[in-house]
Amino acid sequence: ELGSRVKIPIISLFAAGLSLSSFEYPHLIQIGEDESSRAKAIAAIVEAFSWRSAILIYEDNDSARPILSSVTGFRLDQHVALLTSSTDEEIVEQLMKLMSLQMTVYVVHMSPILASRLFLNAKQLGMMTQGYAWITTDMITNFMNSMDPSVFESMQGVVGFKPHIPASKELRRFAIRWRSKNLNENKNLEEMEMNVYGIWSYDMVWAVATAAERVMTRHPHILHQETRLNMNFTTIRSSESGLVFMDEILQSRFKGISGGFQLTNGRLIPKEIEIVNVFKGDRIIGYWNPENGIASIMKEENHTETNSTSSSKLEGVIWPGGTMNIPKGWSLRGKRLRIGVPVTNQFRELISVVHDPQTNDIIVTGFCVDVFKEAVQSLDYEVHYDFIPFEDANGRMAGSYDDLILQVYHKNYDAVVGDVTIISRRFAYVDFTLPFTDLGIGVVVPKINNDIWVFLKPLCGDLWITVAAFFIFTGVVIWFIERPINEEFQGSPSEQIGMIFWYSFSTLVFSHGKYSMFNLNNLSVSFIQNHILN
């Protein structure tokens, strides 16, 4: 309001939200990320890891509250406001309420001082363990390196955002001068890293100084105006040169230690945002910008994908608890599910229960168990369970499969996993999943190799010998009858033997009436053939 009344530039070194827009306050210049960009970056992370919603924990003040109206792209199940003056007991009370909920994804937007106390208490309550996900905005991440080591240790696994400041020779030389100056002024001062707001402030001061030089060069008459120092805001007069000075600042374009300096709608906004993961230090796992979304390669390196929200673009994230398993976002807290399993040795490929004598653990394996674990893994929330063998004191099956089913009906088990057959009478007590094994009856037969003698397979060897004997017997009978009067059956012994075999086996394909002199022979052949073939 002061800038609008006296028409002079007012520079805010801290972004104060959407409510202070360039249209409402044309003389205000702000530094830092606005609430809209913060909300979009958070939404990109939530979508990248397929979380359905999140819980916002924010500081109830003018600088943090505006994020509530800016959240888009994901659902806020709940938002918790903490006062700057909140005691540890009040913080613990709010965290206990969150622990009773099923949601395990938290977005934290508050000052570093309040955030330090929040994470210390969250770790004591066991909320910095596997299954939880914590996302921090730049309000916290920018000051993370200056936090107490105990606070930093409690934030292991956190994913946060911070403006990307590209490395340059100018920045390195400035950092050396800054450290040297601090050490000269205080020998006992611990070495501290340059804060992003300090880097931006340096560039902003440079922009103001160069803008003032341009005003004096282009508008020398302003120097001759009557000016005096007046700190009484009620009597201060409107500045005639303020609009010119403001315009020169807004048009500033140069390469500063923070990179390319350019004001957009009266605000210095980072072009790229780093996505960092806190684990034994903060490491960059990716980038985000409004044009390309999540990216692992900077736009300067010819990154061409647009609107990416895939977690595959990020480096491996180490979540709370030191695990790389992505939190589900939902967790069924309370008692662990009791899953009954049959103790049987019939089909070990389907279900197998083994007791480890050294650790006294129960190891349950098999195809049914693998299917169950994959089904649980595919859920959008975490399910905790224990396998309970259905056995007696001797380690044998404590009953039939019907008895095992009744354990679910009597609520001794929450479910049963195993080779349980779906039978109509069991539907009165439990519900079954869809069958995941092949239906029907299978027949196991030996594999037979095909060869040229396959035609011999239908009959056994004894039967083939019997058939051959009958054919030879037929030939001998006909030879005995026909030989005295039929020249075809006469000759040398070899010719007569050949005739016997030829005549007997050829009767399968054609009639030999022209070779036989007696009708009795034809009748005998027909009789013997019918008995052999039938």
pLDDT of residue 133: 94
Most confident among 16-25, 112-121, 435-444, 521-530 (mean pLDDT)? 112-121
State the pLDDT at residue 459: 76
Q: Is the pLDDT of residue 140 over 50?
A: yes
* pLDDT value of position 328: 84
* Separation CA 82–CA 61 (nearest Å): 9
Is 337-428 the same fold as 43-162+279-313?
A: no
Q: What is the mean predicted confidence (pLDDT) over 201-208?
A: 89
> How far apart, in whole angstroms, are the C-alpha atoms of residue 257 and residue 429?
72
CATH architecture of the domain 43-162+279-313 equals: 3-Layer(aba) Sandwich (3.40)
Of the candidates 527, 478, 534, 482, the one whose C-alpha atom is nearest the C-alpha of residue 503 is 478
**Percent of the chain topping pLDDT 90:** 21
CATH number of the structural domain 2-13+168-268? 3.40.50.2300
If one compares 190 and 290, the residue with the highest pLDDT of the two is: 290
Q: Which range is least confidently modeled, 255-259, 401-405, 411-415, 429-433? A: 255-259
- Report pLDDT for 303: 47
Give the pLDDT confidence score for residue 25 in this predicted structure. Answer: 66
0.85 cut: is pTM over it? Answer: no
| Domain 337-428 in this protein, CATH class | alpha beta
- What is the distance between the alpha carbons of residues 487 and 515, in angstroms, rounded to a whole number? 9
Confidence of residue 223 (pLDDT cuts 50, 70, 90): low
Q: Return the ∠ at Cα 183 (arms to 181 and 209), rounded to 5°.
A: 20
Q: Sketch the domain layout of the chain as residue ranges.
A: 2-13+168-268, 43-162+279-313, 337-428, 455-533
- The Cα-based distances of 465 to 470, 498, 525 in angstroms read 9, 19, 19
Rounded average pLDDT over 361-376: 90
Model pLDDT, residue 222: 61
Contacts 24+ apart (CB under 8 A), 417-420: 417/339, 417/340, 417/341, 417/351, 417/368, 417/369, 417/372, 417/387, 418/340, 418/341, 418/342, 418/344, 418/350, 418/351, 418/366, 418/368, 419/342, 419/344, 419/346, 419/347, 419/350, 419/351, 419/368, 420/342
The answer to whether the beta carbons of residues 36 and 18 sit under 8 Å apart is yes
Query: Is the pLDDT assigned to residue 340 strictly greater than 80?
Result: yes
Q: How far is Cα 418 from Cα 397, in angstroms, rounded to an integer?
A: 13
464-520 residue pLDDT tens: 888 888 778 877 877 777 777 767 767 787 877 877 777 766 666 555 545 444 554
- pLDDT, average across residues 20-41: 73
pLDDT tens per residue across span 395-420:
889 899 999 999 999 999 999 999 89
Q: How far apart are CA 141 and CA 51, in angstroms?
A: 22
